[in-house]
Structure 1
Amino acid sequence: MRSQLQEAAATFADGPDALEGILLGIVDDVDRAVREPLEIFPVCHHSPASALAMARRLREKQPKVVYLELCEDMAPLLSELRNCRLPVAVQAFATEVDGFPAEWAPLSVVAPITEASAEYQAIAYALDTPGVELVLVDRSSDHVFQWQPREAAPADPADPDAPPAEEEAALHGDAVGVEIGDLRPRFAELEEHLLRHGKVRHWSEWWHQYVELPLGDSDHDTYRQVMLLIGSLFRRLAPGDPQRVTVDEDRERYMWTRMREHLAATGTDPADCLYVCGAFHAASRVEEFGVHGADGFAISPRSATTWQHGLIPSSHAAIEAQFGLASGSVSIAATVWAKNLKRTGVKPFRLEGQAGARKSTAKKTAAAAPVAAAEAVEAVEAVEASDRLSGFLQRPPVIDRLDEEELLGWSVEIVRAARRNGYLASTADAIAVFETSILLAGMRDRAKPTPYDFQDAAVTCIEKDAVPGRRDVRRLVESMLGGDRIGQVGYDALPPLARDVHDRLAPLGLRLDQRGVKRALLDINARPELARCSDVLWMLRHLLPQGAARPIMGQRSLGEQPIQESWDLALGTHQRALIELGYEGVSIEQVLEQRLRRAAYGPQATAAVVLEAVEDATRLLRSRRLADELGLRALEVLAAERTVDGAPEVLRRVRRLLAYYRTSEPVLPAWIESFVKAGYAHYCTLLPTAFTDEDATVRQVAAMLGFLFSMEGLALSLGCDRTQLELAVAQSHPEEPSRVALLWAAQVQLGRLTRAQLRERCDELLANPLVLPAYPRYLSGFVHALEPVPGLTDFVVEAVSTAFGRLPDRVLLPWLPTLISTLRGGGAGGGGAELAPLLIREAGRIFPGRLAALDAWIPPWRAAADGGLPAVRRGGGLPGGALPGGVALLREHPGACDALGALLGCEGGWEAAGSGAGGAVLVGRFPGTAVAMEALLAGG
Structure 2
Amino acid sequence: MSGTHGQTFEELRGQLQEAAATFSDGPDALEGILLGIVDDVDRAVREPLEIFPVCHHSPASALAMARRLREKRPKVVYLELCEDMAPLLTELRNCRLPVAVQAFATEVDGFPADWSPLSVVAPITEASAEYQAIAYALDTPGVELVLVDRSSDHVFQWDSRGTHSAEAGADPGASDAPPVEEEAALHGDAVGVEIGDLRPRFAELEEHLLHHGRVRHWSEWWHQYVELPLGDSDHDTYRQVMLLIGSLFRRLAPGDPHRVRVDEDRERYMWTRMREHLAATGTDAADCLYVCGAFHAASRVAEFGVHGTDTFEIGPRSATRWQHGLIPSSHAAIETQFGLASGSVSIAATVWAKNVRRTRVEPFRLAGQAGAKTSKAKKTAVAAAPVPAAANSDKLTGFLRRPPVLDRLDETELLGWSVEIVRAARRNGYLASTADAIAVFETSILLAGMRDRARPTPYDFQDAAVTCIEKDTVPGRRDVRRLVDIMMGGDRIGQVGYDALPPLARDVHDRLAPLNLKLQQRGVQRALLDISSQPQLEQCSDVLWMLRYLMPQGTARPIMGERRLGERPIQESWDLALGTHQRALIELGYEGVSIEQVLEQRLRRTAYGPHATTATVLEAIEDATLHLRSRRLTDELGTRALEVLSAERSVDGAPEVLRRVRRLLAYYRTSEPVLPPWIESFVKTGYAHYCTLLPTAFTDDDATVRQVAAMLGFLFGMESLALSLGCDRTQLELSVAQSHPQEPSKVALLWAAQVQLGHLSRADLRTRCDELLDNPMVVPAYPRYLSGFVHALEPVPGLADLVVEAVSNAFGRLPDPVLLPWLPTLISTLRSNGAELAPLLIREAGRIFPGRLGELDAWVPPWRAQPLPDTARPGGRAGEGRNVALLAAHPATCDAVASLLGCDGTWQTADPGPAGGQLIGRHPDTAVALESLLATP
The TM-score bracket by the shorter chain reads: over 0.9
Structure 2 equivalent of residue 905 of structure 1? 902
1:815 equivalent in structure 2? 819
Unaligned runs of 5+ in 1: 872-880
Is the CA contact (8 Å cut-off) linking 2:526 and 2:575 kept in structure 1? yes
Counterpart Cα distance in 1 of 2:580 and 2:480: 25
The residue type paired with residue 113 of structure 1 is I
Q: Is the CA contact 2:804–2:845 (under 8 Å) kept in the aligned structure 1?
A: yes
Q: Does 1:671 align with 2:678?
A: yes
For 1:882 and 1:217, locate their aligned partners in 2 and report how far apart those are by CA, in whole Å. Answer: 116
Partner in structure 1 of residue 3 of structure 2: none
1:725-764 → structure 2 map (5 Å cutoff): 725-764=732-771
Match of 2:829 among 825, 835, 840: 825
Maintained 8 Å contact 2:332/2:342 = yes
Per-residue deviation, 1:595:
1.1
Q: In the alignment, what sits opposite 2:240? A: 225
User: Partner of 1:82 in structure 2?
Assistant: 93
- Residue 32 (str. 1) matches residue 43 (str. 2): yes
2:167 and 2:192 in contact (8 A); partners too: no
Q: Is the 8 A contact 2:159 2:166 kept in 1?
A: no
Alignment of 1:659-698 (within 5 A): 659-698=666-705
Aligned to 2:477, the other structure's residue is in SS state coil
- Secondary structure at the aligned position of 1:645 is classed as coil
Secondary structure, counterpart of 2:746 in structure 1: helix
**The one of 52, 57, 71 aligned to 2:82:** 71
1:468 — aligned with what? 475
Give the TM-score, by structure 1 length. Answer: 0.93
**Structure 1 Cα separation of the partners of residues 265 and 461 of structure 2:** 43
Preserved CA contact (<8 Å) 1:43 1:276: yes
Q: CA deviation at 1:866?
A: 7.0
Residue among 174, 182, 186 paired with 1:171: 186
CA contact (8 A) 2:884 2:912 kept: no
| TM-score, structure 2 as length reference | 0.93
For 2:36, give the aligned amino acid: G
* 2: CA distance, partners of 1:649 / 1:336: 59
> Structure 1 residues 853, 292: CA separation in 2 closer, same or farther (over 3 Å shift)?
same
Find 1:51's aligned residue among 40, 55, 62.
Answer: 62
Letter of the aligned partner of 1:843 in structure 2?
A: A
1:428-827 matches, within 5 Å, as 428-807=435-814, 811-826=815-830
Partner in structure 2 of residue 116 of structure 1 = 127
Change in 2 beyond 3 A, CA 1:18/1:865: farther
1:301 aligns with 2:312: no
Partner-residue secondary structure (3-state), 2:101: strand
Deviation string for 1:102-128 (max 9, x for gaps)? 111111111110111000000000000
Q: Does 1:256 pair with 2:271?
A: yes
Q: Which amino acid aligns with 1:103?
A: D
Amino acid at match of 2:829: G
Shift of 1:367: 9.4
- With over 3 angstroms needed to count, the CA separation of the structure-2 counterparts of 1:668 and 1:369, relative to structure 1, is closer
Matched to 2:208, the amino acid is H
Partner of 1:877: none
Residue 362 of structure 2 aligns to a residue whose secondary structure is coil
> Residue 64 and residue 886 in structure 1: after superposition, are their counterparts in 2 closer, same or farther (change >3 A)?
farther
**What one-letter code is carried by the residue in structure 1 that aligns with 2:705?**
V
Deviation string, structure 1 residues 570-589 (Cα, Å, up to 9, x no partner): 11111111111111111111
| CA deviation after TM superposition for structure 1 residue 674, in Å | 0.7
The one of 342, 346, 352 aligned to 1:331: 346
What letter corresponds to residue 420 of structure 1 in structure 2? R
Cα distance in 2 between the residues matched to 1:448 and 1:920: 114
Is the CA contact (8 Å cut-off) linking 1:345 and 1:369 kept in structure 2?
A: no
Distance in 1 (alpha carbons) for counterparts of 2:249 and 2:885: 102
| Residue 870 to residue 468, structure 1, CA distance change in 2 (3 Å) | farther
CA separation of 1:281 and 1:922: change in aligned 2, threshold 3 A: same
- Stretches of structure 2 that go unaligned for 5 or more consecutive residues are 1-11
Aligned residue among 845, 850, 853 for 1:851: 853
1:832 aligned counterpart, secondary structure? coil
1:354 is aligned to 2:365 = no
- The one-letter amino acid paired with 2:512 is L
Do the aligned partners of 1:68 and 1:134 also contact (CA within 8 Å) in 2? yes
CA–CA distance in structure 2, aligned partners of residues 791 and 496 of structure 1: 56
Whether the 8 Å contact between 2:331 and 2:493 is mirrored in structure 1 is yes
Cα distance change on mapping 1:909 and 1:490 into 2, 3 Å: same
Amino acid at match of 1:824: S
Q: Closer, same or farther in 2 for the Cα pair 1:800/1:363, shift >3 Å?
A: farther
Corresponding residue for residue 271 of structure 1: 286
1:395, distance to aligned residue in structure 2 (A):
2.7
The alpha-carbon deviation at position 135 of structure 1 amounts to 0.1
Distance 1:868 1:136 in 2: 102
Structure 1 residues 932 and 256, CA, compared in 2 at 3 Å: closer, same or farther? farther
Structure 2: how far apart are the matches of 1:930 and 1:346? 104
Determine the structure 2 residue equivalent to 1:926: 923
Distance of 2:801 and 2:133 partners within structure 1 = 80
Alpha-carbon distance in 2 for matches of 1:172, 1:747: 60
Name the stretch that deviates more: 834-843 or 40-49: 834-843
**Shift in CA distance, 261/910, structure 1 to aligned 2, threshold 3 Å:** same
Partner of 1:896: 893
Matched, 1:188 2:199: no
Distance in 1, matches of 2:673 and 2:392, equals 91
Q: CA deviation at 1:825?
A: 2.3
Matched residue, 1:875: none
> Is residue 82–residue 151 contact of structure 2 (8 Å, CA) maintained in 1?
yes
Q: Residues 742 and 782 of structure 1 are in contact (CA less than 8 Å); yes or no, is this contact kept in structure 2?
A: yes
Q: CA deviation at 1:489?
A: 0.4
How many angstroms does 1:517 deviate by?
A: 1.0
Q: Is the 8 A contact 2:884 2:913 kept in 1?
A: no
The CA deviation at 1:806 is 2.1
Q: What residue in structure 1 maps to residue 8 of structure 2?
A: none
Structure 1 counterpart SS, 2:854: coil
Partners of 2:222 and 2:871 in 1: CA distance: 93
1:345 matches 2:360: yes
How big is each residue's C-alpha offset from its partner over 1:294-346, in whole Å with a ceiling of 9 and x where there is no partner? Answer: 00100001111111110011111111111111111111111111111111111
Q: What does residue 252 of structure 2 align with? A: 237
- Which residue of the partner structure matches residue 861 of structure 1? 863
**CA–CA distance in 2 between the matches of 1:555 and 1:463?**
46
When residues 750 and 445 of structure 1 are mapped into structure 2, their CA distance, relative to the original with a 3 A threshold, is: same
Shift of 1:868: 8.6
Counterpart Cα distance in 2 of 1:264 and 1:452: 49
Report the equivalent of 1:4. 15
Paired residue type of 1:102: A
Task: Decide whether aligned partners of structure 1 residues 516 and 196 sit closer, same or farther in structure 2, where only a CA change above 3 A counts.
Answer: same
Structure 1 residue 490 displacement after superposition = 0.3
Q: Distance in 2 between matches of 1:164 and 1:198?
A: 26
- Per mean C-alpha deviation after superposition, the further-off stretch among 240-249 and 924-933 is 924-933
TM-aligned CA distance change 1:263 to 1:850, over 3 Å: same
3-state SS of 2:122 partner: strand
8 Å CA contact 1:347–1:366 kept in 2: the answer is no
> How well do the aligned residues superpose, as a CA RMSD in angstroms?
3.0
Q: Answer whether contact 1:550 1:568 (CA < 8 A) is retained.
A: yes
Q: Distance in 2 between matches of 1:58 and 1:575?
A: 34
Q: Deviations over 1:583-622 (max 9, x none)?
A: 1111111111111111111111111111111111111111
Percentage of identical aligned residues:
82
Deviates more, 1:109-118 or 1:193-202: 193-202
CA contact (8 A) 2:269 2:314 kept: yes
Q: Is the 8 A contact 1:891 1:920 kept in 2?
A: no
